[in-house]
Every structure is written in structure tokens, then in C-alpha cells.
Structure 1
Amino acid sequence: MSASSSRLSQVLAPLSLLCLTALAGCAVGPNFVRPDVAQNAGYSRDKLAPTTASADVAAGGAAQRLVAGMDIPGQWWTLFRSPTLNALVEEVLRANPDVAAAQAALRQANELVYADQASLFPSLGATASSTREKISGVSSTGPASSNSSFSQILTVHSASLNVSYAPDVFGGTRRRIESSSAQAEFERYQLEATYLTLSSNVVNTAINLASVREQVAATEKIIGLQNDQLTVLKSQRQLGAIANTGVLAQEAALAQTRATLPALQKQLAQTRNQLMAYLGRFPNQDRGESFDLASLHLPEELPVSLPSAIVRQRPDVRSAEAQLHQASANIGVAVANQLPQFNLTASLGSSASSVSKLFTSGTGVWGLVGSITQSIFDAGALEHRKRAAVAAYDESAARYRGTVVTAFQDVSNALRALEADADALTQQVAAERAARESLDLAQAQFRLGAVGYLNLLTAQQTYQNAVLTRVRAQAARYSDTTALFQALGGGWWNRTDVAPATSGSSTDLNNRTSEKTHGRN
């Protein structure tokens, strides 16, 4: 071994020890701790009824039982037992532009993590240069010579390897990686939130389509009844049994009912356009998928997750937690920036007058530089940046608490809606039945002359309103069920069709095991 190599080894040995010590050291700044949910957090002050009411109607009338701690299926929409609906949800998760955007954001965040992780390792570069230079013949100790032969042209070729390394003595680099990893975690749950929102929107849109279609059908049926009644009234007027005012009033009532159809048809068209937009289609690409409430099964067993589990299941809460984690890591980055910064650079190469002589004996060159930089005066810039990072953490902590409160609110609202809308449908079915009986009686009595026309008109309007309200009440029970699944997180930890951690590509069920565990804790 040459003397220069031995000397280089003696210099690098303590520096290598310094690097290892730096990597093994603790990172400055706070270590992130996941906030705990309040011990007394719950969905309701009063005890919830375990079973909802049932109604004597084919669609949406079944009683629903709440099962505490029941797990949520990853494809919860399949519980409605509609192949058409299942196909649409699969399509929206595949074709919606928001999914593609969220997947791209996750890929970007992951790549930035990899880029930051590279900062933990030395960077190695190669340099090669060739310099041709004319040296003046003027002597520095005497007058210039008139002989031009004193001028020289020199050519120097050099090649070297350069190593640069910034030891992470105080953990600033590790905190920066922690911050970017938390950002990637945020994007990962934003993607989950996108999946959940889109699947819920498609299910609700299908329910709305079925509801509006049945309202249109009910309105057309009522128009038929009113038209039949108008025919009877005209016959009675020709016989002189009633005045013309009754016929005119019935014609006005019929016209008013017909006037409600365009609004319903507009709502139906706009709802279909909304469904096409969710699916990533243009309005003219409607393939005619249709729904009716009777084709949608109302799930009879519904999960109610434990309050302690809701923060692990909701994608928005997990996203807020990731932002809080990122803010915590940024404090460490700001603290590390206030401390001395270390940097090591080394180069090893050769310099010769010709390329053929490179790396031959006597042409070797090397250099080693170690530096420490410490800010002495910056007018408080670094301290204020640290305080800003602490304030950002406080903001994220407040937003996290707000997100958790909203999550409990959503679950509570969904549970209350399930109970209230089940009772409302029961009463509305009874009201519709009574309104129909009242209308039949009023029609019979009117034919006999026992009641006036106003009684008949009132009975018609009451029945019309009762039918439309009953249809909307049926749809509300399906929507409430969707809202509960969405409020509980949608069962993403049981998903097998997409894997947000791998940017939404298909995955095997075994790859989701760890996520299932986290979702249930």
C-alpha cells in the first residue's frame, strides 16, 4: 500500500465512524403519537333501538337490525343484490377521472419519498475534463523576450470520482423522510376516500333514479285516475246532474298534476347525466341502465362499529392523522436546521498530459474536505420557521379533532335517520292506504250526490301527495343504509378489487392482511 493510500485510510476511518454514529443517533423534534379518542365518545346519548320498524310494502319495508361490532364487507354495495348496480360501481372505480388523479397523486408522493430516502446515502459522481492552454513566454522576473519560442502550449487531461455525503447527525434528513412518508400516507387515504365517495355517489344516484322513475309512474297513474274522473264529471254535466264549475275544477286539477311531470322528467334526465359523469361517460353514452326500488334489496343486518374503531376506519380521519404526522415531522426538520450542518466531500482521480498516461504511476490526485456550517445570525429566521412549524402542528391537531367529531356526527346522523325514516315509511304506508280508501269513498258518494265536488277534489290531492311521499320515504331507507356504510368507512380494509397502496391496481387478498388488522384495531 502506498503512503498516500495509507494516509487517506487514516483520514477516512474516523469520518466513517462519525457517519455511523450520526445514522444511529436520535432525531431531534417530537416523536409522533397518534391522538387517543375520548373515552366517553359515542354515537348517541340515549340507547339506540337494536331494530327498526317495518312497513307493509314490497320495496324498502323490511326491518333492519343493528349489529354492534359487525365487520363491513369491502364491496358493501353488493348487499343491495343488484347486478346492474354492481357493474356500475365497478365501472366508476375503473373509469372515473378522480380515481386516476388520486392514483397519480399517490404515485407522485411515493416517488418523493424514495427521492428523500436517497439523501441518507452518499452521492457518487464522475468527472472528466481535457484542458488545452497556451502559457505566455513573459518572465515574471525580467523583461519580455522577443523570441516566441518561450511561449508554451500545455494539454492536461484529468478524470476523477467525487463523493459527497451530508451526515444526518441530528436527524433532520430522517424527519424530512418521515414528513414525505406521511404525505404519501395522506394521499393513500385520499385515494380511499375517493373510492368510498364515488361508490356511495353511484349507489345514491341509482336510488334517486329509481325513486324519480316511480314518482313519474305514480304521477302518470294519478293523471289516469283524474282523467277518468273528468270523464265521469262531463257525463254528469251532460245529464244536468252537476254544474259546469265541477268540470272546470277537475280540468284545472288535472292540468296541475300534468304540470308536475316535466319537473320530474327533468330531474330524471339530470340524475342520469350525473350518473354518466360519475362513470366517466358523456351524456350521449348512456346505455340505458335502469333501476326500480323493487329490484334493490334492503339489507336487513347493518354494522355498527365500535366508537374506538371509527378513527381507524374512516379515510378522512386517517388522512387528517397523516397530515398531523407530517406537521409533527416538520417540527423536527425545523429544529435540525437550527443546528450545525455537516458535509463531507472526497475526490480521487488522475491528471496527465495525455489520455494514455491517465491512472499511471505518479499521476494520482486526491482530496478530502470536511465542513461544519452553523448559522450565527439570521435575524431570527430559523427560530420563526420552527415556531411556524409548531403552529402548523397545532392547526393540524385542531383539524384532526374536528374531523373525528364530524365522523361521529355522520354515524349518529345515519343511525337516527335509519330509525326515523323506518317509522316515517310505516306511517306513510298507512297514510297512503287511508287516502286511497278515502278517495274511493268520496268517488262513490259523489256519484250518489252525497258529497260535493270539493270533497272529491280534496281526496284526490291527498291521495296524490300520499303516493309521492311514500315513494320518497321508500328511497330514503335505501339512502340511509348507504349513508351508514359511508359513515363507517366503507370496509376498505376488506377490499379485494383495488389496492390503493399500489396505486389502485388489482391485488391478492393476502396483500391486504395488515390493512385489515389496522382497520379493526
Structure 2
Amino acid sequence: MNKFTVKSGAGFAVKPRFPQLLAVSAAALLAGCSMIPKYERPAAPIADQWPATSGFTTASAQAQPAGANAPAVAAADIEWQAFFSDPKLRQLIEAALRNNRDLRIAVLNIEQARAQYGIRRADQFPTINAGITGSRQPNPNGNGSITSTYTAGLLMPSYELDFFGRVASLKEAALAQYLATEEGRKTAQISLIASVANTYLSLLADEELLTITQQTLATREESFKLSKLRFDNGVASELDFRQAESLTEAARASLAQLVRQRALDQNALTLLIGQPLTGDLAVALPVGKGLSDAPLMVDVPAGLPSDLLTRRPDIRQAEQQLLAANADIGAARAAFFPRISLTASAGSASSHLSGLFKSGSYGWTLAPQLILPLFDAGRNRASLDSANAGRDIAIAQYEKSIQTAFREVADALAGRDTLGEQLRAQQAQANAEATRFKLADLRYQNGVASYLDQLDAQRSLFAARQAVVQTRLAQLQSQVTLYKTLGGGWKEAPPEEALSLKASRQLSR
């Protein structure tokens, strides 16, 4: 058997020009059209300016900590290493970026989406395999003989000529999904950094509240001992004695509650970091410190609401998902048009296995196929309707992500505009309550005022000092939240730090 030529599905013989055929097929593929609808970014359903906080138009300057400076760059352009100045906090954040499991899952999602995009991209090119086949069948002449055919060579399975862009649309959808997962990783990093910083600040507040509570408990225990002594000697009534006892036990209850809260916050920090807080990380814990030792953070400009569209990774992620849904419509539209595929092979063929690789056994086959959908019980129409609905859902999700971002930034700006004045007023109240307690205690010791006046002053002072700590915590966490909501925290570290971080991740695996 010298050469063989197989007729195509259309019933005509083709000449042995397999390389030229591949070139023609590639040209036909590149000439294919696209059914993807033209993308237009939906209008942002938000106001052009941030809402003003009534009565506090100039209070934002009062809300900034001493030593903070206002840079001209946007929050998304400020690296977290520059935003947080506390070396212990930065050490904790670096550990979280290396070990946090949520961030690790986000990175692995990127790798999976990249692989899926590679699969869709490979669908645009023919697949070439090497294979050997053999077949034996009765001779159709009916003489009882057996016909044998053996082939060996290169095989091209069914390859779709993408005239109407169905395969290209699926590739574009996979690319958009891949880019969306990359933006999702940035969003996860922003949230992780902000969570570590806020938990660190909560631990500082826990330490300061513990100090205040321990001091208050010591004062109340001394007062309780004095009240008991006065009650035992008939100088004070049992009412005064029980009041002192009640306040002392209330302070003990507050102390137990704060110890528990500190343990909970430390557990939360352990989960965020992704490893036990031992060794160097144990040294980074804020033990014996307060919010007065909190790191100074750079003030960030709010910019315009429209900046969120390009600065927030979660918004860009939603837009990439919208682009993927838009590309799915192109694939669904292309399903209504004919689908042309090619199956080909080139190699040697023989009726005897021993002559498979002898000279003159070269041959090739080509089998083009055209499929035109005629009746599918509405399957293609339903697929297109589903793709259109998916795009509408993606538009709604995109618009909601913009509105959510606007609300988060507006809330953070409201906190920045008001928490500074609130902290100033509560600090002044705490100072007044401290003076009031000293005077009430002096008046009680001299018999001018009742013991109830002293207890009331002591209770008010404790509450005022706690309120100062809680407001200062809210102010600092509001700064972190504003940095986060403006898209800060995902900018990559300098090259040398990035290489060091990559090496640490490889070692941790």
C-alpha cells in the first residue's frame, strides 16, 4: 500500500498538503468575528461629593493625632509599611501576610483561575497527538477473508474553526475571571492588614482599660476597708458599707470581663496571623502598653467618589466579573451559528504491521464537519437568556459594590470629622470628674459631704476614664478603616522586600 487518500465528509478527494491546511485553518480562525456585546461601564449610582458632617466642617483637622502629616498621594498609593509606623505592628502584619490561611486561599484561587484561562486559551489552537492504530474486519466481498489496516503518525482531533468567536468568547470570560481573582486577592490583603491593625489597637485598649480597672479596684478596696472599719466602730451606717462593697465587687467583675476580652482579642490576632504568638511574635504583643503608645498613622485624603472605581480592588473585581458575564453572552450568541470542525491525520498506513514504516506508505486524511443547529428544544435560546440574566446580575453586583464602598468611606469620614471633638470633650469630662472625686473625697473626710457623694463621684470617674479609652480606640480604628476603604494596603512591597517575603512563604510551605 503506497499512499492513501480518504474522501472528506463532502465526498471529494483532497490533495496531500497537510501543512498548508493548518496555515489556512489558522488564518480562518484569526478572521473569526466576535459576538461579545460592546462593553460600556455602568454609571456609578453615587453622588459626586462625599456627604458633609453637619456642624463639623472643619473638625477633621482636630481629629488628627499630633505629628500626623497629610501627603499629596492617594491612600491606594501609600504602602502599609509607610502608613503604620509601629515596628511591632508591622512585624505582626508581615507574619499575617506570610501565614494567614484566607490570604493563602486567595492566592491559590489565582493559580486555579490562571490554569482555567490556560485551558480556554489552548482551545483556540489545534491539538496534535502521535498515535498508532490498527483494525481488522471481514472483507465486504464475502469471501471470508480479513482486511487489516494499520496506521501511525500525527493526529489532530476535532478542531473547531472559530468563525463566530465562540471559543474566543469563552477565553475572554476565563481571562476576566482570572483578573477578578487577582483583585480578590488584593481585597483579601487589604482586609487582613486592617483586621490585624484594628485587633492590635483593641489589645492596646484592653491593656489600658485593665490598668484603669486595676487602679480603680485598688482604690475601692481601700475605701471598702475604711468603710468596714467605720461600720464596725458604729461611725458609718450599713448603707454606706454595702455601697462600698457593691462598687468593689463591680470593679472586680469589670476586671474579669476585661481579662476575658483581652484573651479573646489575642485569640483573634492569633487566627489572623495564622500561627501561635510565640518567640519573636510574643515580643510584638502590646503587653503593659496603652493607646497613648499607639502608632501614628498618616492622614489620607478622601479624594472624589469617582476615584473608588479605579482604587478599590473589590470594585475592579466586580467589574471583571461583569466583563466575564458579558463575554458569556458572546459564546451563547455564537451557539446559534454553524460550528465547523476539522479532524485530520498524517503518517504512514499499511495492510501489514511489518510494512507500516516502509518507504511509500505515507498518507493523510482530512474530515471537515459543519454542524448547523436546527432543533434543540430551545436549549440555545435558554443559554442566551441565562447569559443575559447573568450579565444583569453582574451589573447589579457591580453597582452595589460601588454603593457599599461609598457608604464605607462616608462612614469613615464621618468618624474622622466627629471623633476628634468627641475625644476632646470626653477627656475634658474625665479631668473634671477626677477633680470632682478629689473634692468629694476631701469633703467626705471632713464630714461636709455624705459617703454617697464620694461613691457617685468615684463611679462617674471610672466611667469617664473608660469612655476616653473607648473613644480613642474608635478614633484610631476609624483612621485604619478610612485607609482600608479608600483602597490602601494592597500596594506591593519594594522588590527586595517582595523577594524576601516570597522566600519566607516558600520556606513556610
TM-score (norm 1): 0.85
- The AA in structure 1 aligned to 2:118 is Y
The equivalent of 1:222 in structure 2 is 216
Q: CA separation in 1, counterparts of 2:58 and 2:355?
A: 89
The equivalent of 1:170 in structure 2 is 164
State whether residues 432 and 463 of structure 1, in contact with CA within 8 Å, keep that contact through their aligned partners in structure 2.
yes
Q: In the TM superposition, what is the alpha-carbon distance from 1:230 to its structure 2 partner? A: 2.7
Q: In the TM superposition, what is the alpha-carbon distance from 1:184 to its structure 2 partner? A: 0.5
State whether residues 352 and 358 of structure 1, in contact with CA within 8 Å, keep that contact through their aligned partners in structure 2.
yes
Aligned residues: 489
State whether residues 91 and 284 of structure 2, in contact with CA within 8 Å, keep that contact through their aligned partners in structure 1.
no
- The AA in structure 2 aligned to 1:479 is Q
Deviations 1:59-89 (A, max 9, x none): x853867667635454325433211110110
| C-alpha RMSD of matched pairs (Å) | 3.3
Q: CA separation in 2, counterparts of 1:227 and 1:382?
A: 80
Which of 399, 402, 405 pairs up with 2:400? 402
Deviations 1:220-258 (A, max 9, x none): 111112223234434544665433432232122111111
Deviations 1:263-291 (A, max 9, x none): 11111111101111111125888735432
1:340 and 2:332 aligned: no
SS at match of 2:161: coil
State whether residues 273 and 283 of structure 1, in contact with CA within 8 Å, keep that contact through their aligned partners in structure 2.
no
Range that drifts further, 73-82 or 290-299? 73-82
Query: Any unmatched runs of 5+ in structure 2?
Result: 7-12, 505-509
Q: CA separation in 2, counterparts of 1:156 and 1:475?
A: 83
State whether residues 246 and 453 of structure 1, in contact with CA within 8 Å, keep that contact through their aligned partners in structure 2.
yes
Q: CA separation in 2, counterparts of 1:212 and 1:3?
A: 86
Range that drifts further, 85-94 or 60-69? 60-69
Q: CA separation in 2, counterparts of 1:461 and 1:319?
A: 51
The equivalent of 1:197 in structure 2 is 191
Equivalent positions of 1:25-44 (< 5 A) are 25-37=32-44, 40-44=47-51
State whether residues 206 and 262 of structure 2, in contact with CA within 8 Å, keep that contact through their aligned partners in structure 1.
yes
1:127 and 2:131 aligned: yes
Which of 85, 90, 93 pairs up with 1:89? 93
Range that drifts further, 340-349 or 475-484? 340-349
The equivalent of 1:287 in structure 2 is 282
Which of 88, 105, 110 pairs up with 1:106? 110
State whether residues 496 and 506 of structure 1, in contact with CA within 8 Å, keep that contact through their aligned partners in structure 2.
no
Q: In the TM superposition, what is the alpha-carbon distance from 1:100 to its structure 2 partner? A: 1.6
Q: CA separation in 2, counterparts of 1:263 and 1:387?
A: 57
State whether residues 45 and 403 of structure 2, in contact with CA within 8 Å, keep that contact through their aligned partners in structure 1.
no
The equivalent of 2:152 in structure 1 is 159
Q: In the TM superposition, what is the alpha-carbon distance from 1:499 to its structure 2 partner? A: 11
Which of 326, 330, 337 pairs up with 2:328? 330
Q: In the TM superposition, what is the alpha-carbon distance from 1:166 to its structure 2 partner? A: 1.2
The equivalent of 2:236 in structure 1 is 242
Q: In the TM superposition, what is the alpha-carbon distance from 1:196 to its structure 2 partner? A: 0.9
- The AA in structure 2 aligned to 1:90 is E
The equivalent of 2:385 in structure 1 is 387
Range that drifts further, 197-206 or 285-294? 285-294
Q: CA separation in 1, counterparts of 2:141 and 2:165?
A: 55
SS at match of 1:302: coil
Which of 423, 440, 451 pairs up with 2:438? 440
State whether residues 39 and 323 of structure 2, in contact with CA within 8 Å, keep that contact through their aligned partners in structure 1.
yes
- The AA in structure 1 aligned to 2:216 is I
- The AA in structure 2 aligned to 1:24 is A
Deviations 1:189-223 (A, max 9, x none): 11111111111111010000110111111001111
| RCO comparison, higher one (Cα < 8 Å, 6+) | 2
Query: Any unmatched runs of 5+ in structure 1?
Result: 142-150, 508-521
State whether residues 61 and 425 of structure 1, in contact with CA within 8 Å, keep that contact through their aligned partners in structure 2.
no
Change (3 A) 1:140 1:426: closer
